[in-house]
Structure 1
């Protein structure tokens, strides 16, 4: 079969859980799909309501890469539109690079469709801006090393030196070690928020500190499916953005004189 006759594979970001947080394009592709593969341990099965009746949908949570690729290969060879549904955004801890390399070897056309990541949904739930005017302008997306290590230069000990916003993935069961590593360079009272099952029914969060976050998570029985946000952005207040300050000029507006440099109490 020629490449022109082959089906296509779409790696689609499903979002953090809420079925309405998939993108319009992702929803359309699910509606058009002839074959859907999804990780049932992470992806909300409510998203499958967008799939046409009779279209095969395979839960890949228990499959190896080889088994998953076999399904993709057969679907593409039959000219099908294949949707590989990933939780959040596929580019973050999505294990898509190995899949892309495999479809490239098979000369199967593919495309990545971005999704809403859980760290963004967590910030929305908390009502916080990850980058704060007058404060940190950097967001670090990382995880605590465990059975799967991280490079030593990217350890939480090293990343804590910057005092930036930290979004901690895949680490809810490793908070004791995460706290110990962070407190090498950050004070124990640095704010932290543990957000469990964000956008799912029963979502909840705990406001805490890095010194107390492991104990607080344990007390609440939170051991997985939680995003941990760390940094002063969680309590920052008072500064306003220069972008909308009347005393600040830019390409779309000239200065209008002195503006307030903070919010009135």
Structure 2
């Protein structure tokens, strides 16, 4: 069996209990060494075979999995955050399926969740935004039609922007061109939940300047949205005048 495991957003203790159990039992671990906290490897058995996928191609990764499966060994493919978001796991799973190799997926804490925790911020606030967009600025990987930054930003919802920390000047231009106000709040979260985590707050109009001043070039998420302003409507969920399937409305007295 090959187990795709989300390592979490950075802190070693943010891996799930299931992910930790699989990691401790693995005969072979293929980990994303450029992104995953190396402390997680401390859980591996002394005889565990470890491969760093940062230096490997898809074909090389699949070949390791195939050999391990043929030898009856358990494999953990350790990805950063949650592997369903920019994890490039679909091509790996499809390759395994084509070879008849069984696999499963253990979700992890995505870096966007880690960023929200670092900000101490809810990303969906009543009366402000009920939609969160997880996206990226076009780089070497092109964006599909209709998913360019300008089109998505025009919706005005909360945005968590991945893989764009090295292109903040262009990101700022696209946000402004989409109609986002220069005064709309922005947070740059560098290495969310890692020991050297840093939270930098600014405005859309000063995004590029702020990022440059702090030397931000990679390993950071950009959160854009009015949820960062602080004002919002009270949730109906815990409003005494709002009935639910578990509680009848009353006057709150």
- Structure 2 equivalent of residue 263 of structure 1: none
SS at match of 1:123: helix
- Structure 2 equivalent of residue 200 of structure 1: 194
**Greater CA drift, 61-70 or 146-155:** 146-155
Of 118, 123, 128 in structure 2, the residue corresponding to residue 130 of structure 1 is: 123
SS at match of 1:57: strand
Pair 1:190 & 2:184 matched: yes
Structure 1 consecutive aligned stretches of length 4 or more whose deviation exceeds 3 Å = none
> Shift in Å at residue 237 of structure 1?
2.3
Pairing of 1:90-129 with structure 2 (within 5 A): 90-129=83-122
- Structure 1 equivalent of residue 217 of structure 2: 223
**RMSD of aligned Cα (Å):** 1.1
> Shift in Å at residue 188 of structure 1?
1.1
- Structure 1 equivalent of residue 166 of structure 2: 173
TM-score by length of 2: 0.97
Pairing of 1:237-248 with structure 2 (within 5 A): 237-248=231-242
**8 Å contact 1:132–1:236 — kept in the other structure?**
no
> Shift in Å at residue 161 of structure 1?
1.6
Structure 1, unaligned stretches of length 5 or more?
1-7, 260-265
> Shift in Å at residue 94 of structure 1?
0.3
The number of residues matched between the two structures is 252
**8 Å contact 1:133–1:241 — kept in the other structure?**
yes
Residues 27-80 of structure 1 deviation map (CA, whole Å, 9 limit, x = unaligned): 000011010000110011100111111111111101100111110100011111
- Structure 2 equivalent of residue 76 of structure 1: 69
**Alignment partners' CA distance in 2, 1:78 and 1:235:** 56
> Shift in Å at residue 239 of structure 1?
2.2
SS at match of 2:45: coil
